[in-house]
């Protein structure tokens, strides 16, 4: 994973969008090569078609698990394995997931902290979230963390920095990144990557022209600017 990686999620409100496959050419045209989707919103066969198209375009694929109960999560994990995605983000039942993905090559980034609801919310005090992150990152088979920082009622830039400093593995910040200031906070906090979905589809970022391709080009430019600032 390039640092920092901008991962575009073909999702809205924590569901894969119905026209994800039709939107994919615009994503590729924008130069985005980290592309993800959720485990809900489309039938499995449609997700399989989407996965094949992402890989055919030379991109890295990500599936984010948003199931909260154990059985649904394990079903989602099995789907991720059948699909052959490169990264699996999210989920909370780590002890149950690790045996399923052992020796599969999939990169696993579970959620630290206490996750509730849909769309997912991160609950708990910052020190508890950091402690959870540290514990998860210490597990063999956990390759990184999927931090729902902007879904938490805390000082988010401080939380990102604290989690990234506390763990020795990459942290992806996911959820509700919908303005340049939040991208800057993610990158200054030393996260390895971040996801954007709904905000780009809704045209929330400043761009010269309307349309998804221009949104994604704008996000890439904001990311590059933020990275340059961290290097000064």
**pLDDT tens, residue by residue, 102-126:** 999 999 999 999 999 878 899 999 9
Q: Is pLDDT of 60 > 70?
A: yes
The residue ranges of every structural domain in the chain are 5-230
* Residue 187, pLDDT above cutoff 80: yes
As a whole number of angstroms, the distance between CA 29 and CA 25 comes to 6
Q: What is the pLDDT of residue 2?
A: 56
pLDDT, residue 14, reads: 82
Give residue 1's pLDDT band: very low, low, confident or very high (50, 70, 90). Answer: low
Which residues, at least 6 apart from 178, have a Cβ–Cβ distance to it below 8 Å? 196, 198, 199, 204, 205
- Report the C-alpha gap between 46 and 16 in whole angstroms: 10
Q: What is the mean pLDDT of residues 44-54?
A: 97
Q: What is the phi/psi pair of residue 56, to 5°?
A: -65, -25
In angstroms, how far is the first alpha carbon of the chain from the final one? 23
**The pLDDT of residue 3 is above 70:** no
**pTM value?**
0.95
Three-class SS state of 157: helix
Q: By 3-state DSSP, what share of the chain in percent is helix, strand and coil, each rounded to 5?
A: 45, 20, 35
Asked if the model's pLDDT at residue 221 lies above 90, the reply is yes
- Residue carrying the six token digits 């990234």: 164
The whole-chain average pLDDT of the chain stands at 95
5-230 fold: TIM Barrel (3.20.20)
């Amino acid at each position: 994973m390039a640092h920092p990686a901008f991962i575009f999620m073909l999702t809205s409100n924590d569901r894969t969008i119905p026209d994800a496959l039709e939107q994919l050419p615009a994503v590729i045209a924008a130069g985005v090569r980290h592309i993800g989707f959720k485990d809900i919103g489309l039938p499995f066969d449609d997700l399989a078609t989407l996965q094949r198209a992402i890989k055919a375009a030379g991109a890295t694929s990500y599936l984010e698990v948003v199931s909260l109960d154990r059985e649904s999560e394990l079903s989602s994990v099995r789907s991720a394995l059948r699909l052959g995605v490169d990264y699996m983000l999210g989920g909370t039942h780590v002890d149950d997931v690790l045996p399923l993905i052992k020796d599969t090559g999939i990169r696993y980034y579970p959620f630290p902290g206490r996750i509730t609801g849909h769309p997912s919310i991160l609950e708990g005090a910052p020190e508890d979230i950091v402690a959870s992150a540290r514990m998860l990152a210490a597990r063999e088979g956990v390759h990184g963390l999927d931090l729902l920082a902007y879904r938490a009622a805390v000082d988010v830039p401080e939380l990102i920095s604290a989690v990234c400093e506390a763990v020795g593995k990459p942290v992806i910040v996911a959820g509700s990144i919908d303005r340049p200031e939040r991208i800057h906070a993610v990158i200054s906090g030393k996260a390895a990557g971040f996801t954007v979905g709904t905000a780009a589809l809704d045209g929330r970022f400043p761009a010269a022209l309307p349309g998804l391709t221009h949104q994604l080009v704008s996000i890439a430019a904001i990311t590059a600017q933020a990275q340059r600032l961290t290097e000064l």
